[in-house]
Amino acid sequence: MICKCILLISTLIVVQCRSILKDEQVEIPKIILKSEWSTKSIKAQVQRLQENPPSYVVIHHSATDTCTMRAICQARIRNFQDYHIKTKKWNDIGYNFLIGEDGNIYEGQGWDVAGNHTSKYNEMSIGICIIGNYNNRVPNQAAIRAVQRLIEYGTSSNKINEKYSLIGHRQAKNTNCPGDKLYELLKTWTHWTKLM
Ligand SMILES: [Zn+2]
């Protein structure tokens, strides 16, 4: 009886410790919703990911000026949305998420949705755009940390396959995106994958 009790108590402690550990590991990042930055109400139906959780994370840069204040970042994002709708003729902004050098994460298409950012990968990836031009420098620490927090949360909540491959846009298309310096940095991240 005593043995059983000890066993039960120790099992309970282990289970509780595990759940505490799990809660501590997964920080839910603050994500600024599209409804907070967009003035448009878009009725078009979104396309769900074909592979969910997706096995790729594709990193982009916007190749524009950066932003270190939320109001400026939101103005830039509205410009991208306009460009994607008016010039590219897409239904909405193409990226799943955007990151500013203000350290904020902005929702684009969000989780579970196939964006419009990397042909052949849209249905099986989350596309993250870091606002700025990263040919000659890397994004600041606030932006890097925001990307990492977002991916970490994605894998912990089953929104990104935990065995995901991280790639830069240039690996899937003849483009300079996400910029030389940012691409060099991505290659040092553990999930970065060389495509065949
Ligand atoms: Zn790109």
Looking at residue 19, what is its pLDDT? 47
**CA–centroid distance, residue 144 to ligand 1 (Å):** 17
> Ligand 1 mean position to 23 CA, how many Å?
33
State in Å: Cα 138 to ligand 1 middle: 15
The residue type found at 142 is A
Residue 87, classified by CB atoms within 10 Å of its CB into exposed (0-12), middle (13-18) or buried (19+), is exposed
Tokens of 10: 């120790």
Q: Distance from the CA of 190 to the center of ligand 1, in angstroms?
A: 20
CB-CB neighbours of 162 under 10 Å:
11
**Considering only CA atoms, which of 99, 95, 97, 118 is closest in space to residue 107?**
97
> Cα(120)–Cα(25) distance, rounded to whole angstroms?
33
pLDDT reported for residue 41? 86
CA 126 to ligand 1 center in whole angstroms: 12
- Separation CA 31–CA 97 (nearest Å): 9
pLDDT score for 62: 98
Ranking 22-31, 43-52, 182-191 by mean pLDDT, the lowest is 22-31
Amino acid 186: pLDDT: 98
In angstroms, what is the span from residue 95 Cα to ligand 1's centroid? 9
Q: What is the pTM of this model?
A: 0.87
Least confident range of 5-19, 111-125, 156-170: 5-19
Share of the chain above pLDDT 90, in %: 81
pLDDT exceeds cutoff 80 at 182 = yes
Distance, in Å, from the CA atom of 59 to the CA atom of 1, rounded to the nearest integer, reads 58
Among 77, 90, 92, residue whose Cα is nearest residue 31: 77
pLDDT at 45: 87
Question: What mean pLDDT, rounded, does the chain reach?
Answer: 91
CA–centroid distance, 117 to ligand 1, in Å, is: 6
Q: Which amino acid is at 96?
A: N
According to DSSP, the β-strands at 165-168 and 125-130 are: unpaired
- 107-161 pLDDT tens trace: 999 999 999 999 999 999 999 999 999 999 999 999 999 999 999 999 999 999 9
CB atoms within 10 A of CB 153: 18
The alpha carbon of 103 and the centre of ligand 1 are apart by a number of angstroms equal to 20
State how far the Cα of 154 lies from the Cα of 162, in Å rounded to an integer. 8
> Ligand 1: distance of its center to the CA of 170 in Å?
7
Taking ligand 1, which is a single-atom ion, which protein residues have CB atoms under 5 Å away? 60, 169, 177
Averaged pLDDT, 56-62: 98
For residue 32, report the distance from its CA to the centre of ligand 1, in Å.
21
CA of 153 to the centre of ligand 1 (A): 22
Which of the four pLDDT bands, split at 50, 70 and 90, describes residue 43?
confident
